[in-house]
Amino acid sequence: MSTFRASQTHEPRMRAPRAIAASRQEPRSGLMQTGLAALAGGLVALWASGALGESHEAIIESHGYSFFGELKYGPDFQHLAYVNPDAPKGGEISIWAPGTYDSFNLYTRKGRAGALSTIGHENILTVVADDPTAAYCLLCTTMQYPQSKDWVIFNLRPEVTFADGTPMTAEDIRYTFDKFMEQGLPSFRAAFGSQVDSVEVLGDHTIKFNFAADAPRRDVIELAGGMPAMSKAWFERTGARIDESRLEPAMGTGPYMLGDFDINQRIVYQRNPNYWGADLPINVGRYNFDRIRVEYFADGNAALEGFKAGAYTFRSENSSKQWATSYEFPAVQNGDIIKTELPDGSLAPGQSFVFNLRRQKFQDPRVREAIGLMFNFEWSNETLFFGLYERVNSFWGNSDLMAMGKPSEAETTLLQPLVDQGMLEPSILTEEAVMPPASSARQLDRGNLRRASALLDEAGWLVGDDGKRRKDGELLVVEVLESSPAFDRVINPFIQNLQRLGIDASLNRVDYAQETDRRRSYDFDMTTHSFSMDLEPSTGLKQWFGSEAAAESTRNLMGLLDPAVDALIEKTVGATTEDEMKTGVRALDRVLRSRLFWVPQWFKSVHTVAYYNMYEHPEVLPSYARGELDFWWYNAEKGEALRASGALR
């Protein structure tokens, strides 16, 4: 049983993409301008004209950006606090991926992209693992913007080059933007295009993003900074499109590039020996492996056997059963393989079964609630998961963004107008936030069965002589779509409970390619989905939950169309203070949970990993990143010893 589902996200995120998830952040204090003054030399007052526009606003110039707080790293920092600046370069790390692939373009819904397909792409701004709500210059040296945030200018580094050694210019950034606006997914174009009015090339290494008058000012700078840099010359030479599947990744500026591959077997990425940014302070102690290899396996069981045989060398164990029972082999016992738990301070991922709300039978919330009552987490955790997990109960679990108890006064201020307009039931103001139902230690909780039966009776789905439920002659059929065999032992008891309820329930396990196709075409009743939220959520919420994304988004997989949710997203995105943002998220979390479009699954607060004893990492890992492909390194002496002993081929 996989703890966390690997999902293919085919839409660029509507912020500077977060390489890490984050939670339990200490509150930040002070105005953004105050923090930048301390760290970046203060406000640069420019009575601007020409490129900066005719304005009398003070212009802020900085190496980084954080809307609500101070930057952790000043302009003269030498390296990130959590890396080993003296980490050696060299060696290989290898991981596994499930299923198949037939493309290296993750930005389209055509084809199935290979693992790490965007590893060669960098954005103008980047994020770090110990300052998760800030963004720092990567492809730029500094950025300039007015207090109104009507625009931002990025001063690009002249030394940036693409993988083939050709220089990157501002024209490449603008070309990439135009390419996404022409050929990107509709939901991305709608969200991004509605916020960026125009992009101007002001010089070879200067680019300006002008923002729409009604674009939320909290999000726009990181939004623009999240634009990847791809080579205009490469696109023109190859004729490639963003919206087409292909076996060559778009040329980028990143530290790794595609080496060789064997379709559906493996992929090798190699470190670019001429990587332009190797000596940047933000990159010191990072990107230490010469090669990153990905081995493909049909399922987790086969992958574990491959790991034991040395087919790959680092494994994040996502099966509680395997973690508890399958690591007693000699290599672990003699120390050739390290089996350990590493701290994970990230937000609990909102992994869940989701309903396809596009189907009429799931329009009635009583049906969805009844089905949710039949998943017994407590029994599953005790019987199947060895007590390893906790229940997912919020889209922002393990953070102060999670809705708790009854609405606060501030939340009520947001919710009351939606109640008055008939978008929400009045009970949202007086009842506690919806939590997943608790169950007994028996697989079938009889109390929950009685509650679910009453709900379905109320909804008109009545039990016939054959024990099956029908409404207007239609049988209540629920199929759970799944590709992983490891999920069988989890889903089958759920199916059995649904059948006891009178539902014609079944598990349809398909291969990975079929699962991808059916999810993209929304041909499912229920399937597993993961909601990966941010500590500072903003425009990306529209891709996850907004009505405008329901028709084609791979994030709004359930097809949620809800005016109250849309209104709360707008309030959250438009928040100008941290308190407003947090209140908006809590109100949104409360309403989302009340809609019952998910059956929450499980999470764990540690990383369970095993790896061959030739990798090392800083003694203290950052809360928000495990970092094996980022800031771990290879110990050549240990690696040679493993090979000499025959432990590793």
SS (H, E, C) 210-251: EECCCCCCCCHHHHHHCCECCCHHHHHHHCCCCCCCCCCCCC
- Give me the CATH number covering residue 216: 3.40.190.10
Measure CA of the first residue to CA of the last residue in the chain; give whole Å.
29
Percent of the chain predicted with pLDDT > 90: 80
369 in the same domain as 228: no
The pLDDT of 481-499, averaged and rounded, is 95
Hey, what amino acid is at 106? L
* φ/ψ (deg, to 5) at 315: -135, 125
**Same structural domain for residues 463 and 590?**
yes
Whole-number Å distance between alpha carbons of 76 and 150: 28
Which pLDDT value is given to residue 540? 87
Domain boundary among 555, 576, 599: 599
Rounded to whole angstroms, the maximal C-alpha distance in the chain is 82
Residue pair 447/437 in contact (Cβ under 8 Å)? The answer is no
Assess contact for 317 and 608: CB atoms under 8 A.
Answer: yes
Least Cα distance to 248 among 233, 259, 256, 232 occurs for 259
Nearest residue to 99 (alpha-carbon basis) of 399, 510, 471, 478: 510
| Helix or strand holding residue 260 (H, E) | strand 256-262
Helix (H, G, I), strand (E, B) or coil at 310: coil
DSSP 278: T
Quote the tokens at residue 381: 């955790």
- 515 and 384 in a single domain? The answer is yes
Residue for token digits 């009635």?
Answer: 364
The DSSP 8-state label assigned to residue 15 in this structure reads S
Q: What pLDDT digit, counting tens, does each position of 265-277 carry?
A: 999 999 999 999 9
Whether 497 is covered by a domain: the verdict is: yes
Pairing outcome for strands 291-297 and 92-98: parallel
Q: If residue 352 lies in a helix (H) or strand (E), which one and from where to where?
A: strand 352-355
Q: Is residue 628, in this structure, part of any structural domain at all?
A: no
Q: Is the pLDDT of residue 600 over 90?
A: yes
393 in any annotated domain: yes
Examine the domain organization and report whether 231 and 356 are in the same domain: no
Range of the domain at 210: 32-82+123-236
Task: Look at residues 124, 122, 101 and name the one whose alpha carbon lies nearest to residue 113.
Answer: 101
Pick from 26, 16, 104, 6: nearest CA to 70: 26
For 491-524, how does the pLDDT look when each residue is reduced to its tens digit (9 = 90+)? 999 999 999 999 999 999 999 889 999 999 999 9
Closest CA to 392 of 406, 372, 408, 410: 372
Is there a domain that residue 585 lies in?
yes
381 inside domain: yes
Summarize the confidence of residues 155-169 as an average pLDDT: 98
Residue with tokens 């726009």: 220
For residue 426, the 8-state DSSP code is G
CB 225 within 8 A of CB 67: no
Q: Using alpha carbons, select from 514, 559, 517 the residue that is nearest to residue 358.
A: 559
The predicted structure's pLDDT at residue 52: 52
pLDDT at residue 412, as a whole number: 98
Distance CA 209, CA 144 (A): 11
Structure tokens at 382: 């005790």
Which residue do the tokens 């889209």 mark?
395
Phi, psi of 441 (to 5 degrees): -75, -5
Question: Confidence class of residue 548 from pLDDT cuts 50, 70 and 90?
Answer: confident
Q: Are residues 435 and 567 in the same domain?
A: yes
User: Quick one: pLDDT band at residue 59, thresholds 50, 70, 90?
Assistant: very high
Three-state DSSP state, 433? coil
Tokens standing for residue 100: 């198949």
Q: What percent of the chain has pLDDT over 70?
A: 91
The C-alpha atoms of residue 193 and residue 202 are separated, in whole angstroms, by 20
Burial 159-190 (b: 16+ CB within 10 A, else e): ebbbbeeeebbbebbbbbbebbeeebbebbeb
Q: What is the CATH number of the domain that holds 590?
A: 3.10.105.10
Question: Pick from 432, 356, 369: which is nearest to 595 by CA?
Answer: 369
- Residue 439 identity (one-letter amino acid): S
Please name the residue that has the structure tokens 């941010």: 534
- Please identify which residue in the block is written with the tokens 């290898």: 94
| Residue 11 in this model has a pLDDT that exceeds 70 | no
The tokens describing 599, both together, are: 């059956």
- Euclidean distance between CA atoms 155 and 151, whole angstroms: 13
Give the separation between CA 548 and CA 533, rounded to whole angstroms. 19
Q: What is the pLDDT of residues 64-112, one digit of tens each?
A: 999 987 899 999 999 999 999 999 999 999 999 999 999 999 999 899 9
Per-residue pLDDT tens over the stretch 602-647 = 999 899 999 999 999 999 999 889 999 999 999 999 999 999 999 9
Q: Between residues 345 and 526, which one has the greater pLDDT?
A: 526
For residues 537 and 627, give the distance between their C-alpha atoms in angstroms, rounded to a whole number: 23
Neighbours of 549 (CB within 10 A): 26
Residue 617 maps to a domain: no
pLDDT confidence of residue 56:
67
User: In terms of domains, do 364 and 231 share one?
Assistant: no
What DSSP string describes 105-156? -TTSSSS-BPTTTTTT--BSEE--TTSTT-EEESSEEEEEEETT-SEEEEEE
pLDDT of residue 244: 95
Q: Report helix, strand or coil for 514.
A: helix
Residue bearing tokens 């930048």: 36
Q: 124-128, 223-227, 583-587 — which is least confidently predicted?
A: 223-227
Tell me which of 584, 599, 614 is where a domain ends: 599
Last residue of a domain, one of 185, 215, 236: 236
For 212, phi and psi rounded to 5 degrees? Answer: -65, 150
Average pLDDT, the chain: 90
What DSSP letter does each residue of 463-479 carry, written as one string? E-TTS-EEETTEE-EEE
Band the pLDDT of 5: cuts 50, 70, 90.
Answer: very low
d(CA 76, CA 66): 17
**pLDDT for the residue numbered 551:** 85
Domain-embedded: residue 332:
no
Residue 315 in domain:
no
Over residues 441-451, mean pLDDT = 96
Q: Tell me: the pLDDT tens digits for 230-257?
A: 999 999 999 999 999 999 999 999 999 9
Q: At 40, which helix (H) or strand (E)?
A: helix 32-40
Return all residues near 295 (Cβ < 8 A) that are at least 6 apart: 94, 95, 96, 97, 265, 266, 303, 306, 311, 312
Answer whether residue 32 shows pLDDT above 60: no
Comparing 133 with 360, which gets the higher pLDDT? 360
Q: How many domains does the chain have?
A: 2
Q: Is the pLDDT of residue 588 over 60?
A: yes
Nearest to 287 by CA among 91, 502, 148, 23: 91
